[in-house]
């Protein structure tokens, strides 16, 4: 049985299993292929406590047609020393402050998630860290296709 029902009003779930944080670099977490999708929610959940040491997180969407678009350049999420079950939430905003850090128990996620609705065309979505802290995160996304054949696929950790 899936962790989330596929007929949920949020759309089709995509869950990337826990993986080590990238070390001062970028790592792809999912890709959009076959057309545009409507992303209704995305967040990362800390599954192994993040170690001490300055470490900022942002997202990079490498669009197939227009090149990379950095999300959260002005307001990266500070993930230093986050405990297990902390959430890093992707918010859709009109400014460049796209990442927020919410700490709390994962079971309460429905009460803390903001609106995250936005369209994504074909391309690869990566997370980027500025530090080399230990720790692991899983990533969760829900989406709807906007074109026939469009889908979001998880990219497994190397």
- DSSP string of 119-139? EE-SEEEEEEESS----EEEE
Query: Tokens at residue 55, please?
Result: 């470490």
Assess if residue 81 is contained within a domain: yes
CA 130 to chain centre: 16
Assess if residue 146 is contained within a domain: yes
CA 107 to chain centre: 18
Q: What is the pLDDT of residue 7?
A: 53
**What is the full per-residue pLDDT of the chain (158 aa) written as tens digits?**
345 445 567 889 999 999 998 887 888 999 999 998 988 888 889 999 988 887 888 777 787 877 666 565 555 777 888 889 888 876 654 444 445 444 443 433 343 444 555 778 888 888 888 887 789 999 998 899 999 999 999 999 87
Task: Please state the domain count of the chain.
Answer: 1
Q: Which domain holds residue 88?
A: 12-154
**Beta bridge mates, 41:** 142
Assess if residue 6 is contained within a domain: no
Assess if residue 41 is contained within a domain: yes
Helix (H, G, I), strand (E, B) or coil at 111: helix
Q: What is the pLDDT of residue 110?
A: 40
């Amino acid at each position: 049985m899936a962790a989330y029902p596929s007929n949920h009003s949020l759309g089709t779930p995509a869950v990337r299993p826990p993986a080590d944080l990238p070390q001062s670099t970028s790592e792809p977490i999912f890709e959009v292929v076959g057309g545009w999708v409507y992303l209704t929610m995305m967040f990362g959940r800390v599954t192994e406590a993040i170690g001490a040491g300055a470490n900022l997180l942002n997202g990079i969407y490498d669009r197939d047609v227009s090149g990379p678009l950095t999300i959260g350049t002005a307001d990266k999420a500070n993930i230093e020393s986050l405990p297990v079950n902390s959430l890093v939430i992707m918010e859709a905003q009109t400014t460049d402050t796209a990442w927020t850090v919410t700490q709390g128990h994962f079971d309460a996620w429905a009460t803390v998630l903001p609106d995250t609705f936005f369209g994504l065309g074909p391309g690869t979505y990566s997370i980027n860290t500025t530090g080399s802290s230990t720790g692991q995160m899983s990533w969760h996304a829900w989406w709807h296709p906007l074109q026939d054949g469009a889908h979001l696929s998880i990219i497994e950790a190397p």
